[in-house]
Amino acid sequence: MSYDHPEFAGSKVHAKVQKPKDSATLILVRRERGTCRILMGQRAQGHSFMPNKYVFPGGRLDAADCRVKPKKDLHPATLAKLLHRMRGKPTESRARGLAHTALRETWEETGLIFGRATAGDAPDLSGLTLFMRAITPPGRTRRYDSRFFVADAENLANIDRPDHDGGGELLTLSWLTLDEIASLDLPLITIDALQRLKPFLDQGRLPAHECPASFQYYRGKSWIEDEISL
């Protein structure tokens, strides 16, 4: 399906188009007593990219992320979806690097440790599911090829003891229900991700590793909603 996405409508396409930077985001879901809560944080006002917006933790891929050897690998379905339609030469090390980016950025921004006992341990990537991918269109100040992973917060080693002083990139970290999140200032792509996740949470479950991943990007002047499936 294609249409002009309201968040990007009218964006000027510059003569020199920026190449999207690989990035990864982690949607952490905490399930307790029949209620699902999602970790959200507010970006600081001084940020040039999405200031004051509430977002999931995440950030740009570093070269070092691709060199991390996991204690336990990605589920085969998640690995396959990451490799499918990967820009440039698809490599498993880059796919694993994207998964590690999500964990590293979550640690740096929230102080939460996922899939390992300490931040220095080799990570267990098996609990990550690729749920969504979106590429910022041409003409934006910054462009990212973002992979959205979903994971159960039970894989956090320090869920109630984050090493975070509130002074980092994400402020006012909170575990919130979908109803509570609805009142926040959110990027449209975050709203879209939450809407796609809602049917699973309403059933008290998370998407399976094999679930199709939404893939959204601009082609010409149209916003394309595609999917990555096995």
Helix (H) or strand (E) holding 146, with range, is strand 144-152
pLDDT of the residue at 163: 84
Measure CA 203 to chain center.
22
For 75, the token pair is: 């589920």
pLDDT of the residue at 230: 84
pTM above threshold 0.75: yes
Residue 21: exposed, middle, or buried by beta-carbon count in 10 A (0-12, 13-18, 19+)?
middle
Task: Output the tens digit of pLDDT for each of the chain's 230 residues.
Answer: 433 444 444 444 455 667 899 999 999 999 998 899 999 999 765 544 555 789 999 999 999 999 999 999 999 999 999 999 999 999 999 999 999 999 999 999 999 999 999 999 999 999 999 999 999 887 777 789 999 999 999 999 999 998 876 556 677 889 999 999 999 999 899 999 999 999 999 999 999 999 999 999 988 888 899 999 98
Q: What is the distance between the alpha carbons of residues 45 and 119, in angstroms, rounded to a whole number?
A: 28
Please state the φ and ψ torsions of residue 189, each to the nearest 5 degrees: -70, -30
Those residues whose C-beta lies under 8 Å from the C-beta of residue 50, and which sit 6 or more positions away, are 43, 187
pLDDT of the residue at 44: 67
Q: What is the distance between the alpha carbons of residues 109 and 164, in angstroms, rounded to a whole number?
A: 8
CATH assignment, 2-7+22-218: 3.90.79.10
pLDDT of the residue at 137: 82
Strands (E), 33-76: 35-43, 54-55, 58-60
Q: What is the distance between the alpha carbons of residues 5 and 8, in angstroms, rounded to a whole number?
A: 6
Q: CA separation (Å) from 110 to 26, 42, 62?
A: 11, 11, 18
Q: CA separation (Å) from 107 to 38, 100, 148, 151, 168?
A: 16, 11, 16, 14, 11
